[in-house]
Amino acid sequence: MYFKRIAVAGALSLLASTSAYACEIGARVSIVGNEFPAIQTVGAAAQECKGGEVSTNLTADHQKINLAGMSGNPAEYTSAIVANSSIVALMNEDVIRPLDDLVAKHGAGLKKNQLITINGKVMAVAFMANAQHLVYRADVLEKAGVEAPKTYEDMLEAAKKIREMGIMENPVGGAYKAGWNLAQEFNNMYIGHGGEFFKPGSAEVSINNAQGVATLNMMKSLSEYMNPDFLTHDSNATNAEYRAGNVALMNMWGSRAATLSDAEGVSDEVKNGMAIAGPMTVAGGSTPATTLWWDGWTVAKNISDAEAEATFIALTNAIRPEILADEEVAKQAVWLIDGYEPTPAAVGVFDAASAGSTPYPMVPYQGLLHTALGAELSDFMLGKESAEQALADTEAAYTAAAKEKGFLN
């Protein structure tokens, strides 16, 4: 068995090196993207190509520079690695090109569901999926005598019990930091309540309704079981609370769950007790209160065809199935690449996808609503105003922004 595995690994790495050798490009490639491990892997693999210079700029601030770096002619970046939320900003400004001809020529190894098509044109190639889902402490829940929650109502029950039994003071964790994170939690919960963000077919927002109020009330109830500083906690801070053993239940990103307990100084209790499950539903709904995400790469519009072709070849090479032969790489994400076998850490994202979760909406004005929610909901969470007032404020802030951007008159 052991020898067989070595032989397979050897054969695969041989395959990997031959195909890396086969990657020949004829022009410059320049990639901008986020910096988490899976994207680092893709960037490094693209740099294996010979024949042209391949440079990468992988940074958490990628969203602040990718649009500016692709707007010039010729563009500085020939490719931006984006997610389903951030591709919209590039689409809105028309800086990425359709890839149909390149897919026909060089994309034989890509699966159909990796191709992101908008109005029938392939605009991006996805390589990984992501979602927020339940991460919990199996040992703590067992001590409290409760099952892993399937709904947010169960989560509240469990949290109440854990607090009453004196096991933990604030058993619920959540990335509720005012701004992007808080708005994302609203999006999750609102989708779970069956809410629609906009009036059908228009940019007119409609969140000040019964579902919106129920969403905020559920978030408020959850926050009562969180660290009182929850409005300052992003995903990193929430993970730190979990690692320190202060949190038993949280809704966390799949891309962070795999490496959550690997950090230094995490007690064995937390390591062994960690468990992952699918996302929860809320208020008797059937759609999980979460959103599905993909990460993928695009090719700039304002570059020569030779550069576009080189970029496509290099990045297709970077996400070839052989990269999964490395066990560390296979663990980094829920890959959409052919031949990916889910690891135990991927179960949450897989459950999210199979339970019929909604992808994060790809409409041109969703980003404006996200920003408005992030700025206006904190007053409600602090108990300074009513849910209706917070939602009305959000709608007003969004409307002002959408008018400025020309989405509303």
Binding site for another protein (CB under 8 A): 63-64, 67, 84-86, 88-89, 91-92, 94, 113-120, 126, 129, 177-179, 201, 203, 227-232, 292, 294, 336, 353, 357, 359, 361-368, 370-371, 375, 378-379, 381-382, 384-385, 389, 393, 396-397, 399-401, 403-407, 409
Closest separation between CB of residue 329 and another protein, Å?
A: 19
CB closer to another protein out of 63 and 251: 63
The two three-digit tokens of residue 59, written as one number: 């940074």
Cα angle 274, 280, 282 (rounded to 5 degrees) comes to: 145
Strands (E), 188-264: 249-253
Determine contact, residues 298/67, Cβ cutoff 8 Å.
Answer: no
Closest separation between CB of residue 177 and another protein, Å?
A: 7
Taking phi over 0 as left and psi of -120 to 50 as alpha, with beta for the rest, 284 belongs to left
> How many CB atoms lie under 10 A from the CB of residue 22?
12
Residue closest to 333 by CA, chosen among 139, 157, 177, 127: 127
* Euclidean distance between CA atoms 340 and 319, whole angstroms: 11
Closest separation between CB of residue 334 and another protein, Å?
A: 10
Residue closest to 62 by CA, chosen among 46, 94, 40, 92: 40
CB closer to another protein out of 23 and 191: 191
* Euclidean distance between CA atoms 332 and 262, whole angstroms: 13
CB closer to another protein out of 51 and 406: 406
- State residue 200 phi and psi, 5-degree precision: -50, 130
Closest separation between CB of residue 409 and another protein, Å?
A: 7
CB closer to another protein out of 277 and 353: 353
Closest separation between CB of residue 169 and another protein, Å?
A: 9
CB closer to another protein out of 281 and 310: 281
Determine contact, residues 214/204, Cβ cutoff 8 Å.
Answer: no
CB closer to another protein out of 278 and 367: 367
Name residue, tokens 């098509």: 117
Kind plus residue range of the DSSP H or E element containing 136? strand 121-137
CB closer to another protein out of 52 and 98: 98
Closest separation between CB of residue 106 and another protein, Å?
A: 20
Kind plus residue range of the DSSP H or E element containing 391? helix 387-404
CB closer to another protein out of 16 and 318: 318
Closest separation between CB of residue 247 and another protein, Å?
A: 13
386-to-28, 107, 207, 220 alpha-carbon distances in Å: 55, 53, 14, 11
The two three-digit tokens of residue 285, written as one number: 């709904």
Determine contact, residues 92/316, Cβ cutoff 8 Å.
Answer: no
* Euclidean distance between CA atoms 401 and 374, whole angstroms: 14
CB closer to another protein out of 79 and 86: 86
Facing residues of 158 across strands?
Answer: none
Name residue, tokens 């809105």: 92
Closest separation between CB of residue 397 and another protein, Å?
A: 7
Sequence-separated (6 or more) residues with CB below 8 Å from residue 362:
84, 85, 87, 88, 118
CB closer to another protein out of 77 and 230: 230
